[in-house]
Amino acid sequence: MQTPSSAVTSGFVVLVLAVAGLFVAATWWAGRRLGESLSERAGWTALSAGIIAGVLGVSGVLAARGALSNMDSLPPAVFGVILPATVLTLVLAKSRFGERLVRGLSLESLVGFQVFRVAVEVALWALHREGVVPVEMTFEKLNFDILTGLTAPVMAWLIHRGRAPRALVWTWNTAGLVLLLTIVAIAVLASPPFARVFEATPRNTVITTAPFVWLPVVLVQAALFGHLLVFRWLRRHPA
pLDDT of residue 238: 79
Contact status, residue 171 vs residue 118, Cβ threshold 8 Å: no
Query: What is the C-alpha separation between 11 and 232, in angstroms, rounded?
Result: 32
Task: Name the residue type at position 184.
Answer: V
Chunked in runs of 10, what are the mean pLDDT values of the chain (239 residues)? 93 98 98 97 98 98 97 89 98 98 98 98 98 97 97 98 96 98 97 92 96 98 98 90
Q: Where are the domains of the chain?
A: 6-236
* Rounded Cα distance, 126 and 124, in Å: 5
Give the number of residues written for the chain: 239
Instruction: Report the pLDDT value the prediction gives residue 33, as an integer from 0 to 100.
Output: 96
Return the pLDDT at 119.
98
Please provide the DSSP assignment of 39-61 as one string: HHHHHHHHHHHHHHHHHHHHHHH
Note the pLDDT tens digit of each residue in 51-73: 999 999 999 999 999 999 999 88
* Packing angle, helices 146-160 and 166-189, rounded to 10: 160
Q: What are the CA-CA distances from residue 27 to residues 23, 78, 192, 208 (Å)?
A: 6, 29, 38, 29
How confident is the model at residue 75, as a pLDDT? Answer: 85
Q: Which of 6, 234, 235, 233 is nearest to 102 (CA)?
A: 233
pLDDT of residue 73: 80
Dist. CA 170–CA 148, nearest whole Å: 13
- pLDDT digits 0-9 by tens, 144-153: 999 999 999 9
| pLDDT in the model for residue 72 | 82
* pLDDT value of position 237: 84
